[in-house]
Amino acid sequence: MRRIGMLTSGGDCQALNAAMRGVVKTLYNSGQQVEIYGFLDGYRGLIYSKFQMLTGKDFSGILTKGGTMLGTSRTPFKTIQDPDENGLNKVEAMKQNYYKLQLDCLVILGGNGTHKTANLLRQEGLNVITLPKTIDNDLWGTDMTFGFQSAVDIATDAIDYIHTTAASHSRVFIVEVMGHKVGWLTLNAGMASGADIILIPEIPYDIKKVVDKIEDRNRKGSGFTIIAVAEGAISKEDAKLSKKEYKKKLAKRIHPSVSYELAEAIQKKTGIEVRVTVPGHMQRGGSPCPYDRVFASRLGAEAGKLILDNQYGFMVGYRNREVVRVPLEDVAGKLKEVSPDATIVQEAKLLGICFGD
């Protein structure tokens, strides 16, 4: 009998259910007896022993469903070793619940913070396997994360829809795409939708360069401009500030986000009407696209095989179009950013896309 715990932690995204289904179907198809314990609402479920016993039937019909059947929550790594409001040691509580249920392994689906905690549990002696989910595609050790392509599709649709109204009214439109620290989602959606300007956190922008691009388009007869902006985009001036100084400045910001700040600056400098659209959490929602259904199923199947092989301490990743096993300690705490020198950035510039640098 194998006893497997599963949880999804951090922000939700498409294909979480598909990935869990891949794990469970692989285990059941092996012919071995399996018990599945689904911890509810992320690490909180493991901390406070909130779980459900699941059977194969629970994983039937969920391939196309977005969100997560187990629920999720954010449990920041920086406070995971702090006692809760009642003095409970959260790490010890997770370990005790793992051993109390006599689990053979924990399968954890999540992004960067989730992987830090997963690696901590590995260091504490628990058998852990992780799966890389995030719409940001910013996990180190894998070329792709599930949820990313679905979010790219949604963000691309949003920018596509903006094109017609922008052209009709000869306006500048800013579409704010998710991504606080990295710009993979904005970069891909921007390129896919023909955005004229793409602003991402890794390439601080000069407002003058942004305005120059807009005015150049106008001179050439293009009466509108589409700007794809990552929510974590930053100006060159702000990029020179220390983290402490920048946080202090953000606390005093009167605009809802960088996009509105940018819109005001562009309108003042050009006199052109600027509109902002924020798709927001729509980018996390809905059914996973076909690519993510296949991709998450493949990763889930490999995670199931790892369990059957008694191989723990790995994240199931994807490199050079092959599913791979990546040591968890190599993943935790690392961020996969967009390099300003990346070929995709250089190719985008060859297409005439401005990055504000």
Contact criterion met (CB below 8 Å) for 9 and 110: yes
Question: Tokens 């007896």 sit at which residue?
Answer: 33
Report the length, in residues, of the chain: 357
Helix (H, G, I), strand (E, B) or coil at 105: strand
User: What separation in angstroms does the CA of 183 have from each of 71, 127, 148?
Assistant: 27, 33, 12
Q: Residue 257 carries which side chain, given as an amino acid letter?
A: S
Pairing of strands 322-327, 314-319: antiparallel
The CA distance from 103 to 132, in Å, is 22
Does residue 8 contact residue 57 with C-beta atoms inside 8 Å? no
- Residues with a known catalytic role: 136
Q: Are strands 197-199 and 322-327 parallel, antiparallel or unpaired?
A: unpaired
Pairing of strands 34-39, 51-54: antiparallel
Q: What is the DSSP string of 303-349?
A: HHHHHHTT--SEEEEEETTEEEEEEHHHHTT-B-PPPTT-HHHHHHH
- Three-state SS sequence of 245-278: HHHHHHHCCCCCCHHHHHHHHHHHHHCCCEEEEC
